[in-house]
Structure 1
Amino acid sequence: MQNSKLFEPLEINSVEIENRIAMAPMAIGGLVTQDGCFTKRARDYYVERAKGGTGLIITSVTKVENEIERIKPGIFPVISANPTRFIKTASEMNEQIHAHGTKIFLQLTLGLGRVADPHVLETEPVAPSAVPNYWKPDVTCRELTTKEVERLVEKTVQG
């Protein structure tokens, strides 16, 4: 017998999800433009999940800014790299996803902190405090300044 709960609607705050099938965030490395936007292939990837009946899609991690801890271009979406284009391409994707009754949440990050792989960074890894990097424990992450934390909060609000 099928579990009918799975197909019942669910409300998250004021967002009604048509069923309880959710796509957890998965990295979409390589499906990002050089200026931090979702490629057509990435947009199609999410739309196909909506066509399949997913009630909620949570996107891959999206950085709110890329100056303090600079990731090499094309690895993660970055809202502030080209905000106008990001909004345009993400809005188009959202419209296509919503057309199938699916909701989408954008997963935001202020940065990767101690778990940033130094191979994907153009700068040294940073974290709230000077701690060893997860991937290269011999590398100590640079401690964020108060001004940098304030900038990250500002960029998150803008995002």
Structure 2
Amino acid sequence: MALREYAKYGGITAAIFAVFVVLAQAQAISVPFFTPATIRVNGLGDNYGLNGDATFTITAHGYGSNCHALQVEAVHDGERKSFYRKADDCRYMEITHGPYNFTRSFEYGSEVLSSKGEYKLDVRFEDLVDGRKASLTRNFSVGTE
């Protein structure tokens, strides 16, 4: 084969592989090592009334093991207003791999939304077997409508 044909087939192969990686990164397909963990927060508003109620869900999507940890912390002026952490004990689980869709609901009431000002919600998710991590921060206000 001529060098030109090798270059042509190499380019086609690279293009196919690039499309494969892009689809995995976009989570259109689930592929080990190429599908990252992503986090979404649904239902969290931008503003809440003082001593109001906030209901939202956190969803992690990705590909990996069935052993996870989720940490959610709400902070106001450097003071922790709410903290949640749950980590699976992988020693007592049969570890499997595949796509996951992990969802947890949260309800904040007057015990959390009791101070006026800006709040920061920090979310961290980790696959405890494969080591994949994802995090995000969302901000919202209380009593500043």
TM-score strictly above 0.5: no
Larger radius of gyration: 2
TM-score (norm 2): 0.29
Which structure would you say has the larger RCO, counting Cα contacts within 8 Å and 6 or more residues apart?
2
TM-score (norm 1): 0.27
By percentage of residues, which structure has more strand?
2
